[in-house]
Amino acid sequence: MSKTIAQIRPAETGKAVVEVEGLSRTFDVSRPWLNRVLERDTRHFLRAVQDVSFEIARGETFALVGESGSGKSTVAKMVVGLLPPSRGAIRIDGLDMQSAQQAHAMRSLRRRIQMIFQDPFASLNPRWRVGRIIAEPIRAFSLEPDGKALERRVGELLSLVGLDPRDAKKYPHEFSGGQRQRICIARALASKPEFLVCDEPTSALDVSVQAQILNLMRDLQDEFALTYLFISHDLAVVRHMATRIGVMYLGRLVEVADAEALFRTPRHPYTRMLLDAVPDLAMTGTSRKQVEGEIPNPISPPPGCAFHPRCPLANDRCRSEQPQALAAGDAVVRCHAVEEGRG
Amino acid sequence: MSVPLLSVRDLHVEFPTRRGRLKAIDGVSFDLAPGEVLGMVGESGAGKSLTGAAVIGLLEPPGRIADGEIWLKGERIDNVSRKAMRQIRGRRIGMVFQDPLTSLNPLFTVGDQIVETIMTHLPVSAREARDRAVSLLEAVGIPAASKRLTAYPHQFSGGMRQRVVIALALCAEPELVIADEPTTALDVSVQAQIIDVLKELCSARGASVILITHDMGVIAETADRVAVMYSGRIAEIGPVAQVVKAPHHPYTVGLMGSIPSLTGSVDRLVQIPGSMPRLDAIPPGCAFNPRCPHAFERCRVERPEPMEMEGSRVACWLHEAGDEAQTVAEQGLAGRAGGER
């Protein structure tokens, strides 16, 4: 067997900030005990994430793409520590996030990881002034000595994201969607983090506002050498932002490759299908390849490779055996067809 | 051109509020030829959904048509009685909404809903209506359609539900289908299928389509013509290739440049500063002037009306000046093309 994903180092040989190994998360979606007994039902589990491994180097943007239900947001939640994994390990700078003994170390680790959420309308407390919202992480980690310094820092953060320092006096409802996302970014930057997890940061925004936020995120990355884990379902946005991309399907990482390589030579049949399916401006007047089927129910996924019912290359082996993550050229792909050279 | 199927003339939609009347749509005019697909794009609040709602007579009160005319095949439909409008809606104009779960009744089977709609609008027997329902469900690509008639909406997946909604919109053979963000709630791989189904069925039946979406990619592939809306007005309307590849209005230029592309990666996306004005604070003159990189004195005082320009109609004063607009468009495109390999 050749190398697994975890053994393959990121393209830039910079030290990995984030190492995720064999990450899995299972949710119990069984009916209540009494119903199970009366109706002779068994327990049901939803495997949201299965055996996901990747590394992110310092200053890199690693993107996870996939359709709804593919488990990308669950990975994000586990990486920031909002959800404990069922199996597997997450190491930030070599420090394991699960080990409870290192509670003190965990605290300093939390300062260095922040998250930007999808919906800027739901992720800001409507009863707090913007200044207090942005100051909260600074207070929580006691990063500024006194109130004056805190106020100055909040002002700095607001101008950093393109807002006016006087906006600190206002409430979130006084801002538009794009401005709110800027506030979320200012809050995420308040604790001087090194690693930002962005879960669909622009999918609630209009395209022209999305462009502003994406440009801002790139500028901030250059200025503070931030590392991003960028979650999105929009391939064009991912192409614009990411240095490396992982494609998820039904809880598994089916392909990991450099952004350029993934768009130039997509290897996994699912990646190819996704790229074919996206309507693009350049496609005016041309017809697209027809895509078949929909994502199956994750509670009872098909045996073997989960993609086989939709895959044009599927054979008997695909229907029975789960493919391993193997190196194929400059990518890592989970596919029997690619391994056997049938693709 | 023959008689347009739909003709919207100087449409105004208002919302009376305590602080005065908000003009959500402020003088929109366009024609739609039989069998044509017209895309409507714009940011949220630009008025694209309201235009669709006004045409089909589903404006939510207190919103109302304050001025203008809507003609369907030479027949005026904006001032007819509610009863007459009900005859037109569903029969001559079908509608596909964004969220397939809320546009189907969860308490009735899919078959009941389609049969009911067919029998309301067409003089057919229950048996014929059922047969039509089956063939419609087959046409929209639902496998084992005759068995699925007795299924409830919750037993379908999102993509399948949207197919049912399309079948419902088409079941009385309407001349016009208004699809309001039909794929926004769906995943990309399913989105492509739904757009194909909608496009194929409408062209097979000769129905015109108004496709409302904020996704320029969908428009670029599907529509014949596209109308770009901004602050309740049409900024630019023209053949889709023209608007996408060589836009004239500075807003369209900015909008096209702000869309990340799959085919080439640019280092920075074109950024339109600021955001669309609120309805109660629309600036005088051209509504886009505070964000426009080329705004001059006239833009701040006088509102531009759509002007003919190489097959498009563009509401921008740069066009009166002539050459200048050409440069704007070229600059915008150069910025975009420069990033492509």
User: Using an 8 Å Cβ cutoff, are A245 and A229 in contact?
Assistant: no
- What's chain B's length in residues? 341
Pick B262's closest partner by Cβ from A263, A291, A295: A263
3-state class (DSSP) for residue A208: helix
Chain B contact for A131 (CB, 8 A cutoff): no
| Whether A291 and B159 lie within 8 Å, measured CB to CB | no
Distance CA A342, CA B13 (A): 58
Selection from A185, A194, A196, A189 nearest residue A228 by Cα: A196
> Which tokens go with A133?
């919202």
Which residues of chain B lie closer than 8 angstroms to A178, CB-CB?
275
Chain A contact for B260 (CB, 8 A cutoff): yes
| Whether A240 and B266 lie within 8 Å, measured CB to CB | yes
Backbone angles phi, psi at B189, to 5 degrees: -70, -30
Q: In the prediction, which pLDDT does A187 show?
A: 94
> The whole model's pTM is what?
0.82
Query: Which residue positions in chain A have pLDDT lower than 50?
Result: 1-13, 285
Mean pLDDT in order along chain B per 10 residues (341 residues): 85 90 91 93 88 90 90 90 89 88 90 92 92 91 87 88 91 92 82 86 90 88 92 93 90 88 75 83 89 89 87 86 52 42 30
| Whether B187 and A67 lie within 8 Å, measured CB to CB | yes
- CATH of A5-278+297-340 among 3.40.50.300, 3.90.1150.200, 3.30.70.360, 3.50.50.60: 3.40.50.300
Query: Given the DSSP bridges, would you call strands A227-232 and A61-65 parallel, antiparallel or unpaired?
Result: parallel
Pick A280's closest partner by Cβ from B43, B254, B261: B261
Extended strands (E) in A153-312: 195-199, 227-232, 244-249, 252-258
Q: In the prediction, which pLDDT does A42 show?
A: 85
For residue B249, which amino acid is it? H
| Whether A207 and B254 lie within 8 Å, measured CB to CB | no
Q: In the prediction, which pLDDT does A205 show?
A: 85
Q: In the prediction, which pLDDT does A9 show?
A: 44
Q: Alpha-carbon Rg of chain A, whole angstroms?
A: 22
Chain A contact for B196 (CB, 8 A cutoff): yes
User: Using an 8 Å Cβ cutoff, are B160 and B152 in contact?
Assistant: no
CA A254 to chain CA centroid, Å, is 15
Contacts of B109 (CB under 8 A, 6+ apart): B149, B150, B151, B152
Listing DSSP states for B26-55 in one string gives EEEEEEE-TT-EEEEE--TTSSHHHHHHHH
Strand order through the sheet with A61-65? A113-116, A195-199, A227-232, A61-65, A244-249, A252-258, A331-334, A325-328
Domain boundaries, chain A: 5-278+297-340
Chain A contact for B159 (CB, 8 A cutoff): yes
Domains and CATH numbers, chain B: 34-57+82-227 (3.40.50.300), 247-338 (no CATH)
Distance CA A232, CA A238 (A): 7
| Whether B193 and A211 lie within 8 Å, measured CB to CB | no
Substitution target from A175, A240, A254 for chain B, most B beta carbons within 10 A: A240
Distance CA B227, CA A117 (A): 32
Distance CA A255, CA A268 (A): 6
User: Using an 8 Å Cβ cutoff, are A101 and A78 in contact?
Assistant: no
| Whether B221 and A284 lie within 8 Å, measured CB to CB | yes
User: Using an 8 Å Cβ cutoff, are B104 and B117 in contact?
Assistant: no
Q: What is the mean pLDDT of chain A?
A: 86
Backbone angles phi, psi at B37, to 5 degrees: -110, 115
Substitution target from B197, B269, B340 for chain A, most A beta carbons within 10 A: B269
Which residues of chain B lie closer than 8 angstroms to A285, CB-CB?
221, 241
Pick B196's closest partner by Cβ from A207, A274, A290: A290
CA distance A208 to chain B (A): 5
Q: Which residue has the tokens 């305590």?
A: B18
Pick A239's closest partner by Cβ from B44, B262, B271: B262
B residues 273-292 lying closer than 8 A (beta carbon) to A = 273, 275-276
> Which tokens go with A274?
């996704």
Distance CA A115, CA A162 (A): 19
Backbone angles phi, psi at A278, to 5 degrees: -75, 125
Strand order through the sheet with B6-17? B20-32, B6-17, B64-72, B75-76
A residues 64-83 lying closer than 8 A (beta carbon) to B = 67-68
For residue B2, which amino acid is it? S
